[in-house]
Every structure is written in C-alpha cells, then in structure tokens.
Chains A and B, each alone.
Chain A
Amino acid sequence: MTPRPIIEFRDVGKSFHRHSGQLLLRAHVRRLVSWHRAVERFDALKKISFCVERGESLAVIGANGAGKSTLLSLVAGLVPPDRGSVHVGGRVAALLELGSGFHPDLTGAENVRLNAALLGVGRKRLNDIFADIVEFAELADIIQEPLRTYSTGMTMRLAFSVAVHMDPDILLIDEVLAVGDHAFQAKCFEKILDFRRCGKTILCVSHASGMVQKLCSRALWLDHGDLLLDGAIAEVSNAYQGPLQSNTDP
C-alpha cells in the first residue's frame, strides 16, 4: 500500500457569511425578527480536490480573493471545511502573515518566546533553539530592545526566523518572501530550499510567480474558489500570466 499523501483535499468547500456590520446587537435582533432569514454567503472555495505527497513543494497562485488564504487556513487547521474532507498528516508551521503574534511593546526576546509558545514549542526546546533563532535573524545586539524600535525588515526577519526554527513537516508560506534586504532574502530562500532538501513539504501562496517558480515544482491555479489548473509550475504560471497580460484586470 502506498503511503497516504501528506495533504489530501477531497471535494472541499468553504463559504463565509457576508456579515459586515452584523456584530452589534441590533443586527442580531433585526435578523431574528425579519421574515427572510436567508443570509448572503460567498464561496471562498468550491469543491476543491488535490493531494500533496510528502516532500513535494506546491505553489498556490491566483488573484486576490481567489481563495488562496482560505486554502492555507484549512491546511493549518484554523477552520473546518463546510463540505468535503481535509486530511493533513504532519506538523504544520503556519507562516501566515508573519509576526501576527508580535507585540510592539515587548522586547524582541519576549516576542520570540511568546511566538514560539504559540506555535507549540515547550520551554526546554525553546532554550535550545533560542540562540539559533536570534543568530539567524542577525539581531543579537538589539534583541532586548522593544519591538517598536525595530524596522519593518527587522521584525520580519525575526518572525521568519522563529517560524523556520519550529521544525515542521509542512511549511506554509503566505506572501512572505519579501522579507528584509536582498542578502536576507537570499538567506531565507536558502533556508526554504534546505527544507525541501530535507524532504519536507512546502505550500506556498503568491500572486506573483517569480519567487515561487524557483521554489516549487508544482502549482495550483485558483480563481474565485475554483481550481482551474493543477500541474507543473512552468505550465501553470504561463497559463496564469497569459490572460493577465492580454487583458488587465479592472
């Protein structure tokens, strides 16, 4: 029997309410007393099926609102699917929007500890990898300063460093490769390639295809929640960029 794919989506659908402004009491009351209860929903993903094998690196490309981030949230286990089934057979490090757990008033070191704890690292292991994290981010001299004194690039470097040191089976990357200056970008890139060489699975989301072409071997093209194309990276990104160049999106 062949081993089960590390990520398996079967007929997955996910929709969200459009509920702008419904968070106040009067909206709830109005909905209760109104005759038509139908809530407007939009489908972020419609019946998507695909598999990712262990060690594969997959890019998910598509325009804004195509459902890329929803797909990553499903893999990361942040939301359950509405329809179909999602199977993920490994530890995921969700590199979704770097630094979302960071607080400007805490020092770099405190943020590292908090973020690592959020990603599931225990005290012992953190003590082992703490120095590596700081060293990789090249921030050893200011790690005790509050985060608000850091530049955006420095914050991103720190967040990236924390995430890649979590030793996941699956690394989710959401448009985060624009991290720091050129030298650091190259370093991040090298680190991600390292992951690939170790046989880890990478899932990468982007609307620009330059970086992902070098990083991934296979791509999914999502458009308004539909899976348009699943194939080799070169083929998919050509198909994706073809219509973009001929008629510019309004």
Chain B
Amino acid sequence: MSAIEYPLNSVVPGSHQKWTGDYLFLIRNLALKDFRIRYRNMSLGMFWSVLNPLVMMGVLWFVFTKIFSNSIPHFAAFALCGIVPYNLFTTSWLTGTTSLVDNAPLIKRVPVPREIIPIATVLGNCAHMSAQVALLLGLIILTGAGVNRYWWWMMVLWPLEIVFVTGLVLIFSGLNVYIRDVRYVVESATVVLFWLVPIIYPFSYIPHQYHEIYQFNPIAAMVLALRNILLEGTAPSASLLIKLAFSSTLMFFVGLFVFRRLRSKFYNYL
C-alpha cells in the first residue's frame, strides 16, 4: 500500500483542490455579513454601540468623581480613552474566538482558506466599533482639548491594535474548535483585563517596577498613547510605539503559525 504522507499543516494536499478566488472581496463580504446581521433587526442601529461606552463612562464618572474623589481633569474623557480601545479589543477577541464554531457550516462545505473566517470577523467587528471611536473623538473635541497634529498617530495606533487582536483571535478561534471551554476562559480574561488596563487609573499610579511590563501589554500601551495624543497633546514616546508595534506584529505571526498547526483537523471537530 502506498501511503502518502501529507504535511500536518496542509489542509489541501499537493496538486489537489486549492481555493482560488478574490480574497479581498471575500473578506469584505464576510465582514459586511457580520456587520449587517448585527444591525438589521435593531431599530436603533448603530446607536446601540455608542450607548454602551456612554453608559460605562457615565457610571465610572459617577463612582470616581462623586464617590471616590480624584484629581484627574476631564475624568469622563479620560475614562473613555480607556473604554474605547478596551471595548474594541474585548469584543473582537470574543466574537473572533467563537467565529470558527459559529461558521462551522461554511467550513464544512466550502474549501475557503480557514484564516479568512476569524480575520473577517475581527474586521467586521472593527467596522462596528468605529462608531465608538467616532464618539471618543467627538467627545474630546467637545471638552475643548481640540485637534492637534499628533492625531495622525492614530492612523498607526488603531491598525496596530487590530493586528494584535487578529493574532490573538487566530490562536483562540483555533483552540475553541477543539476545546469549546475556551470561550469562557476568554470571557473571564476580559473581566480581569478591565482592571489590568489603565482605564480608571492613570499610568503614573502604577508602581514603577511594573511600568516596563505594562507597556508590553498592547492594550495598556494603546490607552497610554491615546491619552498622550488626545488629552495631553503630546506625541507618544518612541519606546512605547516600538513596543506596541513589536508585540502586535509578533502576536500576529505567532497567531498565524499556531492557526496553521491547528487547522488541519478542524473539519473533524466541527
């Protein structure tokens, strides 16, 4: 018997069927699908995704200015600078983690490259989170901080955060196929993360020995950089940006690598 060994990471062996098609068009359509399904049955539409951070901001503002007093100026805007990148990260992480299982019928019927599903889910989620980013920027202008030339940095910052979360989602969506508990681990992790990211406290309150580690947490780094730009009107420090870029790209490639190891048996487990 001639047994032919296929490498572990090839879904589609050798000369055999390979999905050829328009990747961008497919990603766009999948992302649009998630986006449309989310809003189709809501009378208030995009308003909902703006309402959530507003309520959160209001509650935090009440607790941390009326109950605990603090000396942070513009606390509402300060908190929102943390809430929006945190929301973008956690909603992408959660929806991305379950994306393969949610789209099992697709994976079992169409030989599309599997990476496309979690990537499109993250991008669709980002499209819907753009309303929150717009809210944040609008509120900053309202508080009188105004627009400055460092706002351009956000063109780099938001994509870096998306790259990071995409890498993370590639790992967790793959794991979630084999062990369905993974999504609950992610849910708990997002709660922990709320406190570990400087959302309600400034970076300067963190004991000095933890500063270095905090900057490697891309979400914390993202919040710091946003506050530099939007509230203080200064450019984020070069070392912060380098750490953010480094950990984001690293996470993306690790994610891609892990996903390729995991994907060969997806069909059997979905």
Residues in chain A within 8 A of chain B (CB atoms): 10-11, 16-17, 19, 23-25, 28, 47, 73, 75-81, 83-89, 91-92, 94, 96-97, 100-101, 103, 105-106, 110, 113-114, 117-123, 126, 146
Contact = CB atoms under 8 A, between A and B. Distances in A.
Contacts of A24: 179-181
B22 A121 contact: yes
A117 B22 contact: yes
Interface in B215-270: 264, 267-269
Nearest to B107: A78
A80 B106 contact: no
Contacts of A123: 22, 25
A89 B106 CA distance: 23
Contacts of A23: 178-180, 269
Contacts of A96: 109
Nearest to A86: B16
A119 B17 contact: no
Interface stretch (B30-38, B75-83, B153-161, B191-199): B30-38
B10 interface: yes
Interface in B160-204: 178-181
A61 B72 CA distance: 74
B142 interface: no
Nearest to B28: A117
B207 interface: no
A10 B10 CA distance: 19
A117 B100 CA distance: 18
B17 A122 contact: no
B16 A87 contact: yes
B29 interface: yes
A100 B2 CA distance: 35
B1 A101 contact: no
Given A77-B18, A88-B16, A92-B17, A28 B37 contact: no
A76 B111 contact: yes
A106 B3 contact: no
A87 B17 CA distance: 8
B184 to A, nearest CB: 9
A178 B28 CA distance: 33
27 contacts: A19-B269, A23-B180, A23-B269, A24-B179, A47-B1, A73-B108, A75-B17, A77-B17, A80-B6, A80-B16, A86-B13, A87-B16, A94-B111, A97-B109, A100-B108, A100-B109, A100-B110, A105-B37, A105-B40, A106-B33, A106-B37, A106-B40, A110-B36, A117-B25, A119-B21, A120-B21, A122-B25
Interface in B58-93: none
A77 B40 contact: no
B110 A11 contact: no
Contacts of B20: 91, 120
A61 to B, nearest CB: 21
Contact of A103 (B12, B37, B180): B37
A73 B106 CA distance: 13
B130 to A, nearest CB: 20
A127 B14 CA distance: 32
B180 to A, nearest CB: 5
Contacts of A79: 267-268
Contacts of B106: 100-101, 118
Nearest to B3: A83
Given A83-B1, A86-B13, A106-B37, 18 more contacts: A73-B108, A73-B267, A78-B111, A80-B11, A83-B3, A88-B17, A94-B109, A100-B105, A101-B106, A105-B36, A113-B29, A117-B28, A118-B26, A118-B110, A118-B112, A119-B21, A120-B22, A120-B26
A17 B16 contact: no
B4 interface: yes
Interface string B95-127: 000000000011011111000000000000000
A78 B16 contact: no
Interface in B24-56: 25-26, 28-30, 32-33, 36-37, 40-41
